[in-house]
Structure 1
Amino acid sequence: MNRQFSFYICLVLVVMLHSSLQAQEYITVRTKHNALVLEVTQTKEVNTIYFGKTLTNEADYSKVASQYHQGNDYTGIYNAIYTPSGSKNLLEPALEVTHSDGNTSVSLIYAGSKTTTISKGITQTEIDLKDPAYPFQVKLFIKAYFNDDIIEQWSEITHQEKGKVILQKYASANLYLRGNNDFWLRHYHGDWAKEMQPEEQKLSHGIKVLDAKLGTRANLFQPSVFMVSLGAPSTEDQGEVLFGGLEWSGNFRTDLEVDPLNNLRIISGINNEAAAYPLQKNEVFTTPKFWYTLSHSGKGTASRNIQDWARNYKILDGKGNRLTLLNNWEATYFDFNETKLKALIADSKKLGVDMFLLDDGWFGNTYPRNDDHAGLGDWQENKKKLPNGIGTLVQTASDNGVKFGIWLEPEMVNPKSDLYHKHPDWVIKQPHRAEHYFRNQLVLDLSNPKVQDFVYNIVDNLFTKNPDLAYIKWDCNAVIYNAYSGYLKDDEQSKLYTDYVKGLYSVLERIRKKYPKIPMMLCSGGGGRVDYGALQYFTEFWPSDNTDPLERVYLQWEYSYFYPSLAMAAHVTNWGKQSIKYKTDVAMMGKLGFDIVVNELSDKDLMFCQQALKNYNALKNTIWQGTQYRLQDPWDHEVASLMYVSAAKDKAVLFNYLVKDRYDNGSHLPIQLKGLDPSATYQVKEINVYPGTSTVITTTSYTGDFLMTIGLNPNVTTSHTSVVLELSKE
């Protein structure tokens, strides 16, 4: 009897063991068209088994892995959701640490998960991982925006070890895309006035690294945004493509590794170069968010996903209004006084914009800001230029029925300044090395709370003295040389790059708490800092100091893949040889502004600008909030063409620009439009017609079906280099 009982007990145990080995736990994160499926393995590791188009049958996800016969994964964690270093991993890690006892290995096993609904259409999945040998934990966050097909990932790292743990690498996300023949990377490079230059290449085995080590102005040479096409380079409307980017305004690093099984691993986060981070017991380190979207119908769909998501959740006041403006920079540079500025403010009213923006050069007394060699840090009005202060200019603007905005560069300091001499310990510089200047300036140490207070007070004092101040242009022109903080301890110096950005965000949080709706432009000598970490505090960004309209067609085209038009400041300036019409038509692609000498415009030029502003104000909601469609790119066509369609599909605006000005170039064929109601009839009308010239498009009606199937020729020629068309449903 005892033997029989023992037999049954053993049988039950065998069945239970078999059942436990077979019963895997799956974690599924869904968006409208995609599913990210994770598996908790028998050894309690969390791996990605699927990321792609949603399958109809939930049970089918567990069968995916068995269909791939690509070779041996000797570790079982090539596809880890967050790859640790130093244990059995053979590939690039997402996490690398040195424990308090000097051990450099990490193992992460599953300790639980939960999914909660944040709001309608938004879920957040939290996955707890722990090291079985050390009191060390990682919590992974996966936030899904269902309707936008956007996912954000980030991590929280903490421990309860006796001493501090050094985070050697601390990525935000670790994606895994299964082999689909080839992976094609489109990324960007550039420099001042040459931002967003695209390159596309097939990824080979090994690691392609996209990174920045500049400290501030991190995107100067390379932004963190990128695209990866699966199988073949995607087009605007065809192909499977992933867009991604990091929500972080400092040094970043993205590793794209084609592994031995021909799958792609993407690891993105804060750049760990010279940035090891000491973590104290129970201190929580939160990484920045990494966002991504996967499209199965080309780059256009991915871009529209991002633009909708950005307006709804990421950009400050993304559904709100924006101000057209006149900037004085190219009219005066540093050479101005109160009288000259009051005349320019009156010109703002005459032109028809919403606001006058006073740029660099209004401050400094001991070291007056008459060029870019002095004054940064001394934010008092220059008494010679502005004897009655900013207040009189704000009042003049009000008297003229326009608003007043002002330029700041509060993170920076010139060696020729009172601040530099009074607080040398506030400046980032090595104590035993020569100073190196970028645009004749150095960077203030925002890891220091006193410096954070100083920067906050610059803004707060301006608004306290001038409560009707309506706009801030926040610039950031220098990178960090000779990184060293007088505030941080010697054994904490590697925290500087990371804590600088944390300090910046802390200041911006305080500003936004007190001044939640004041419009602010994010500028960094152009697009040197734009990302969705910064844009939560700013209403718009300055893409480039290069305002040549032909160059801007290309720049704004590439930026538009990742950022919506209402966030992209575009100004009409004296750069370029094109007509005022071409310049204005190009600037209307984004958030329109002017940087011209109004009183030097001819009568016809002024009349054109005034009417163009009226047209823009009538169409701005369609441009800012509408759905964007790129029709012909500037790289491969003589004419670049794109359009915005209102949500109700009752309005649209079509921009067309000649970009290759050679003999007989132009729009020889009709351009197929997109996004219209095929059953509706649209009146097509040319706007922004230069005074004294005739229209090139006769006002005519077409069905949406005709416009999307046959198309419309905008009649762009070397004589009519830009044509803007308004479509209205009849």
Structure 2
Amino acid sequence: MRRLILSLFLLGFFCSYSFSEDIFIPVETSTHAIVFQVTENNHVKIIYNGRKFKDEAEYVKTKFQYNLTSERALSNNNIFVAAGTDNNFIEPAIAVVHSDGNNSLDLVYEKHTVNLTTDDAYLTVITLKDAVYPFYVDLYYKAWKNVDVIEQWSVIRHKEKGIVLMNKYASANLYFFDKNYYLTSYNNNWAKEMQPEITPLKEGIHDIQSRLGTRTNLFSSQNFMISFENQATEDNGTVLLGQLAWNGNFLIQFEIDEYKNLHLIAGINPYQSASYLKPNTDFETPKFVYTISYEGIGKGSQNLHNWLCNYNLKKDNEDRMTLLNNWEATYFDFDENKLVNLIKGAKELGVDMFLLDDGWFGNKYPRNNDNAGLGDWQANKVKLPNGIPFLVKAASNEGIKFGLWIEPEMVNPKSELYEQHPQWVLKEEKRPEIYFRNQLVLDLTNPEVQDFVFNVVDQIMTENPQLAFFKWDCNAPIFNGHSFYLEKNKIPQSHLYVEYTKGLYKVLERIEKKYPQLFMMLCSGGAGRTDYTLFKYFTEFWLSDNTDPLERVFIQWNFSYYYPAITMCNHVTNWSNKSLKYRIDVASMGKLGFDIRVDELSPENLAFCKQTIENYNSFKEIVWKGNMFRLVNPYENDLASLMYVNGEKTKAVMFNYLTNWRFIADAQERPIKMKGLNPQLKYRIKEINLYENQKSTLNLNQEYSGDFLMKVGYNPQVSLSRTSVVLLIEAI
């Protein structure tokens, strides 16, 4: 009898062992696969992360090819590395303290599901449970095969008797089995956005992070790329491009372990953000969005562009508006008459909209500079005696739209809002107030403040239902962050950074629901906010306050790796000694706008501006919705060259900019090989954006096959006398 019982026990054990060994979970795009295996002890391992196999059954064989047997690194390729157990010597993705004070976590496989979503993706959900406690982590992998993009995030929950303290709670945990890794990250500062830094990753941990609370990209970007084995080029190599889609503090860690493999963790920055999770409550982490390209960086960019435009971007199929902004034309010094003249100038210029920037509000504390009035969102009666409705009507009478600047999350200490609601401000009462641009941040963890911020938009729209556009700014990070609302409700202050960001998303969700027709620009003193989640609510973003066109060539180049041109706001200003043509040509590589005094243009320059806007309107659909190809890198050459090609490959526009004004520059020595054309078609090339009496130096009577233009190329003859050249390429 004892022998029978033992036999039955062993049979059950080995059936379970065999069953676990047979569980392989692939997450695939059209080219890439991540494969998970459930081990004999029910842990889930990443056993493969690379090119997709033709035969899915062969994934099982990969587990025998890597000898990850070091006693110190047995859990390095766990699906979601947990702190406290399993010989864990590498950085965890999750660290918790259970309700009974135990601070270990042992996550084992419970189940998984795979479903096709309504937006053409395959959603794999793998549920892990602690081996002892009723603590669960659901890992989500959403894979779009058609654009080769994956979203990863986690949902953490538990059924313990008390509160669980979460000290770390990442969105994504990845493990790669390559040998060499090259990280491209970006250093930021005001007017110096997206400065690339290439770092060969060595054994140890490298991270990119922000702790600013708001305007989180002021000093660093959550965008990055990793080249595998060798540094990827535009058309060759294996490369990952991605970001954490979260507007708050972020932390992305790159750890090279003792096997020289890469362990990547991305999520909310746990800095001063320990979270207390109640039973039966879901904590959903932000999305980690990435693509892996086996055809170089250019293909990776196209993947992200296509994903953003097709699945994430507000008003992805609608036109964007060209505009005239008054900021660099007037700054705070304007009145109703000046603005009416500027509106007439916008009409004469031929743009779609006039945008009124900072300085239009505040009465007790007029907004005549940046140290007063912020938070008092009533039109200044001295500057605008007839209010915003008068200006909206003035624009409508000219046949153009009207837009408005707001910064509703912020407050000046010198304001009625601050006087009336000091408890709405994030600040430490026992500390000196620290200002950034003379302002403080409102407490968006507080539902009353959320209502206030929503009502800023709601009241303006109720009074001006024809208003078409908001430029939403955010200039200050959080200093001495303390929430009186959290304190009053006995919620730990460590929840501040996360709940602030969630509060902002709640406000934006309300605005989107009530005013889906609104176009909104995401502005934050430049590119202080650029996460993909915000593009569900914003149609575009402001890349930098630096509008020098030469600097913008480089800034726009680096942003183009991660964002399609339809999202990128580029304005023509007077912040440069470069020619008007150069400034317009650079700004045309995205969503075109102007910050100039139209009445100060010479007749020749006014005619040129009007012509270039007409040209822009003729090719903007190609730039906004076509495939982008970076042709000549300005970091490696004396010029920059990019082109956009429509889906049918019948039309393209090519931008060429001189970037080295030295006499020894060799920008015109060689033809530039084009990309994305149909080799079988014949094309005719036309130079545009020329002054009325300016003649092109190019031979424009020739016809070229796509094959010729992609193998030999075409020389736009960029030189000191032709510093920017825009070409239209059309199939015959």
Question: Normalising by the residue count of structure 2, what TM-score does the alignment of the two structures yield?
Answer: 0.97
How large is the RMSD of aligned CA atoms in angstroms?
1.6
Call closer, same or farther: CA 1:16–1:275 in 2, change over 3 Å: closer
Unaligned 5+ residue runs, structure 1? Answer: none
Q: Which amino acid letter does the alignment assign opposite residue 140 of structure 2?
A: F
The count of residues paired between Structure 1 and Structure 2 equals 727
State the Cα distance separating 1:379 from its structure 2 match: 0.2
State the Cα distance separating 1:632 from its structure 2 match: 0.3
C-alpha distance in structure 2 between counterparts of 1:482 and 1:564, whole Å: 36
Deviates further, 439-448 or 238-247: 238-247
Partner of 1:344: 342
C-alpha distance in structure 2 between counterparts of 1:335 and 1:15, whole Å: 80
Task: Give the secondary-structure state (helix, strand or coil) at the position aligned to 1:52.
Answer: strand
Q: Which amino acid letter does the alignment assign opposite residue 539 of structure 1?
A: T
State the Cα distance separating 1:247 from its structure 2 match: 0.8
**Which aligned pairs between 1:434-453 and structure 2 lie closer than 5 A?**
434-453=432-451
C-alpha distance in structure 1 between counterparts of 2:119 and 2:533, whole Å: 23
C-alpha distance in structure 2 between counterparts of 1:116 and 1:559, whole Å: 33
C-alpha distance in structure 2 between counterparts of 1:465 and 1:64, whole Å: 64
C-alpha distance in structure 1 between counterparts of 2:132 and 2:429, whole Å: 41
Deviates further, 698-707 or 216-225: 698-707
State the Cα distance separating 1:70 from its structure 2 match: 5.7
C-alpha distance in structure 2 between counterparts of 1:431 and 1:378, whole Å: 23
Partner of 1:279: 277
Partner of 1:659: 659
Partner of 2:545: 545
Runs of 4+ displaced beyond 6 Å: none
**Which aligned pairs between 1:378-389 and structure 2 lie closer than 5 A?**
378-389=376-387
Task: Give the secondary-structure state (helix, strand or coil) at the position aligned to 1:167.
Answer: strand
C-alpha distance in structure 2 between counterparts of 1:691 and 1:94, whole Å: 61
Deviations 1:72-104 (A, max 9, x none): 254532111111111122110000111112211
State the Cα distance separating 1:361 from its structure 2 match: 0.1
Partner of 2:680: 679
State the Cα distance separating 1:121 from its structure 2 match: 3.3
State the Cα distance separating 1:404 from its structure 2 match: 0.3
C-alpha distance in structure 2 between counterparts of 1:16 and 1:222, whole Å: 51
Select which of 682, 707, 712 maps to 2:709. Answer: 707
Deviates further, 163-172 or 353-362: 163-172
Partner of 1:143: 142
Q: Which amino acid letter does the alignment assign opposite residue 642 of structure 1?
A: L
**Which aligned pairs between 1:589-600 and structure 2 lie closer than 5 A?**
589-600=589-600
Deviations 1:115-158 (A, max 9, x none): 01103631101111111221111111110111110000001111
Task: Give the secondary-structure state (helix, strand or coil) at the position aligned to 2:371.
Answer: coil
C-alpha distance in structure 2 between counterparts of 1:197 and 1:150, whole Å: 25
Q: Does residue 498 of the first structure (1) align with residue 498 of the second (2)?
A: yes
Task: Give the secondary-structure state (helix, strand or coil) at the position aligned to 2:531.
Answer: coil
Call closer, same or farther: CA 1:7–1:307 in 2, change over 3 Å: closer
Deviates further, 414-423 or 529-538: 529-538
C-alpha distance in structure 1 between counterparts of 2:607 and 2:476, whole Å: 39
Question: Normalising by the residue count of structure 1, what TM-score does the alignment of the two structures yield?
Answer: 0.98
State the Cα distance separating 1:690 from its structure 2 match: 2.1
C-alpha distance in structure 2 between counterparts of 1:197 and 1:23, whole Å: 47
Partner of 1:37: 35
Task: Give the secondary-structure state (helix, strand or coil) at the position aligned to 2:599.
Answer: helix
Unaligned 5+ residue runs, structure 2? Answer: none
Q: Which amino acid letter does the alignment assign opposite residue 726 of structure 1?
A: L
Call closer, same or farther: CA 1:721–1:474 in 2, change over 3 Å: same
C-alpha distance in structure 2 between counterparts of 1:348 and 1:11, whole Å: 83
Q: Is the 8 A contact 1:638 1:667 kept in 2?
A: no
Partner of 1:556: 556
Q: Which amino acid letter does the alignment assign opposite residue 644 of structure 1?
A: Y
C-alpha distance in structure 1 between counterparts of 2:355 and 2:478, whole Å: 28
**Which aligned pairs between 1:381-400 and structure 2 lie closer than 5 A?**
381-400=379-398
State the Cα distance separating 1:536 from its structure 2 match: 1.2
Call closer, same or farther: CA 1:9–1:206 in 2, change over 3 Å: closer
Partner of 1:90: 89
Deviations 1:691-720 (A, max 9, x none): 322112232321100000100000001000
Task: Give the secondary-structure state (helix, strand or coil) at the position aligned to 1:673.
Answer: coil
Partner of 1:692: 693
State the Cα distance separating 1:15 from its structure 2 match: 9.4
State the Cα distance separating 1:667 from its structure 2 match: 2.0
Partner of 1:169: 168
Partner of 2:313: 315
Partner of 1:455: 453
State the Cα distance separating 1:319 from its structure 2 match: 2.3
State the Cα distance separating 1:22 from its structure 2 match: 7.5
Call closer, same or farther: CA 1:105–1:345 in 2, change over 3 Å: same
C-alpha distance in structure 1 between counterparts of 2:9 and 2:589, whole Å: 72
Q: Is the 8 A contact 1:252 1:269 kept in 2?
A: yes
C-alpha distance in structure 2 between counterparts of 1:631 and 1:172, whole Å: 35
Partner of 2:372: 374
Task: Give the secondary-structure state (helix, strand or coil) at the position aligned to 1:725.
Answer: strand
Q: Is the 8 A contact 1:209 1:255 kept in 2?
A: yes
C-alpha distance in structure 2 between counterparts of 1:306 and 1:634, whole Å: 22
C-alpha distance in structure 2 between counterparts of 1:261 and 1:594, whole Å: 54
Task: Give the secondary-structure state (helix, strand or coil) at the position aligned to 1:394.
Answer: helix
C-alpha distance in structure 1 between counterparts of 2:616 and 2:269, whole Å: 41
Deviations 1:605-647 (A, max 9, x none): 1111100000000001000000000000110111100000000
C-alpha distance in structure 2 between counterparts of 1:321 and 1:421, whole Å: 42
Call closer, same or farther: CA 1:681–1:503 in 2, change over 3 Å: same
Q: Which amino acid letter does the alignment assign opposite residue 515 of structure 2?
A: Y
C-alpha distance in structure 1 between counterparts of 2:369 and 2:13, whole Å: 81
Call closer, same or farther: CA 1:288–1:15 in 2, change over 3 Å: closer
Task: Give the secondary-structure state (helix, strand or coil) at the position aligned to 1:533.
Answer: helix
Partner of 2:189: 191
Q: Which amino acid letter does the alignment assign opposite residue 504 of structure 1?
A: L
Call closer, same or farther: CA 1:400–1:45 in 2, change over 3 Å: same
Select which of 410, 413, 416 maps to 1:412. Answer: 410
Partner of 1:636: 636
**Which aligned pairs between 1:75-86 and structure 2 lie closer than 5 A?**
76-86=74-84
C-alpha distance in structure 2 between counterparts of 1:93 and 1:11, whole Å: 35
Select which of 707, 712, 726 maps to 2:728. Answer: 726
